[in-house]
Structure 1
């Protein structure tokens, strides 16, 4: 089995990436000094271009009972992300893994930040969805939040929505979710707010095996060990911390594989205990 494929019972998950970038984590963890991360250098050597993060822009493709679903679409070919150049590699990774855009039935958007929606539409013609046969699914609370006049007027937060989300609604391919919903057999979306008002995660379940696609509830693998670190992108920071604790407790109690866009590639691992602390251990 390829290192880029995870089997959860009868459901297969393929790891894809829009690339990795050297990223100054003080932008997203502004209250945490660089020295704090030194304790993790030897535990997660692949995650650092010292002293900075080597951030992954991960995407996951799932196949279940004839349905094909993709979670998030990376940052896309839209220049810099918070001052860092972005590789815009997702469609190249599709080609490397012999996956066609027209195979996809559903694009599931964990939330509407720019690094999760960037390939929703074609860069050469933004009015056209990249995944021509897919329905795009997002939580209603995120749609309402990110299409508010306040957000749309904000250059940082509004540009990605205008470029990569609103055209989906105009094209009639955007569906809103309002709670727990099964998107494909064994793949269920749940509301996990805090990072954004409508942030969602996926529970993947087949036979006795379960996994949790956690989205941006985790800003890095170190967030498992330090769940109370303030994460600047969280819309509601206290709710974000509470959700993080709840999901990590659930995943540990149920021995779930934990997947995340900003975890070390290929992006999945188990929660383990070492010297009284909880860690994410890549598989």
Structure 2
């Protein structure tokens, strides 16, 4: 594993670039409604970059994995419609691609960890009148269980839950560029998607394994750095709370045993770190 300046990481032969669509502030009581605010007080000093007062500062991370001549983009942010998260401005991902000199047409796969609106927003250039694909040479891939869950008549007709799917997911299926995965799937050499349901029915994570080095992109399994320690707390965005807790424990145990880098979509930019032990408890430690 080689850390490079700012927002890049090398895992064997796979190069990783962290990008962001911005950040959004959350009241912890919204995400963890069963727990009083003082639960988080011990973490203020450990994770100062994650807190603004008592509020969480969630990064909206995307990641480009380059393996040989293939490029996999994991997630596309909330897009130009910042109002869906109470954000005052459009997302930054398109500009961040340009700042990092990554051509849109170099992406060969867009991997959606799941179909929540803050992970699919730039599938299309919805800021342009003709709404072209943001990544014109890519196949877009997601687990079939998420597709089945988010595209029911009930979900699509719901003004809150169906907006992002109607706007950013259905059109890629209509344009014939959507592939549904049913299980573990190799996306590029050294890059494998595998199911980690709980946050959503078809939530998936990525394993990067190359030259005896490993990284795990865990999507929203780890929605905050504190959850590496407080794994059993109910996380309100999870579709199935107990299944989400099981997925969290399983993948963090795997990361510890294999000494893998852990990459989280909502962890403070650039979003990667390791699991450490202190006084018998597991903690997230950023790199």
In 1, the alpha carbon distance for the partners of 2:156 and 2:31 equals 21
- Which whole-Å deviations, capped at 9, do the CAs of 1:42-88 have from their partners, x for residues lacking one? 00000011110111000000000211110000001113244444551
In 1, the alpha carbon distance for the partners of 2:190 and 2:40 equals 37
2:264–2:271: 8 Å Cα contact kept in structure 1?
yes
Aligned residue runs from structure 1 range 74-93, under 5 A: 74-85=77-88, 87-93=90-96
Length-normalised TM-score, structure 2:
0.96
In 1, the alpha carbon distance for the partners of 2:159 and 2:30 equals 17
Q: Secondary structure at the match of 2:176?
A: coil
In structure 2, the residue matched to 1:36 is 39
In structure 1, the residue matched to 2:112 is 109
1:225–1:278: 8 Å Cα contact kept in structure 2?
yes
Gaps spanning 5+ residues in structure 2: where?
none
Q: 1:170 aligns with which of 165, 168, 174?
A: 174
In 1, the alpha carbon distance for the partners of 2:129 and 2:138 equals 17
Q: Secondary structure at the match of 2:220?
A: helix
In structure 2, the residue matched to 1:257 is 261
In 2, the alpha carbon distance for the partners of 1:86 and 1:184 equals 34
In 1, the alpha carbon distance for the partners of 2:279 and 2:90 equals 38
In structure 2, the residue matched to 1:273 is 277
In 1, the alpha carbon distance for the partners of 2:78 and 2:267 equals 16
In 1, the alpha carbon distance for the partners of 2:281 and 2:275 equals 10
Q: 1:193 aligns with which of 167, 192, 197?
A: 197
- Which whole-Å deviations, capped at 9, do the CAs of 1:94-127 have from their partners, x for residues lacking one? 1111111111000000000000000001112475
Q: Secondary structure at the match of 1:69?
A: strand
Measured after TM superposition, the shift of residue 188 of structure 1 is 0.3
Q: How many residue pairs were aligned?
A: 283
1:127–1:171: 8 Å Cα contact kept in structure 2?
no
Length-normalised TM-score, structure 1:
0.97
Q: Secondary structure at the match of 1:245?
A: helix
In structure 2, the residue matched to 1:210 is 214
In structure 2, the residue matched to 1:120 is 123
2:81–2:90: 8 Å Cα contact kept in structure 1?
no
In structure 2, the residue matched to 1:235 is 239
1:248 maps onto 2:244 in alignment: no
In 2, the alpha carbon distance for the partners of 1:127 and 1:151 equals 23
In structure 1, the residue matched to 2:183 is 179
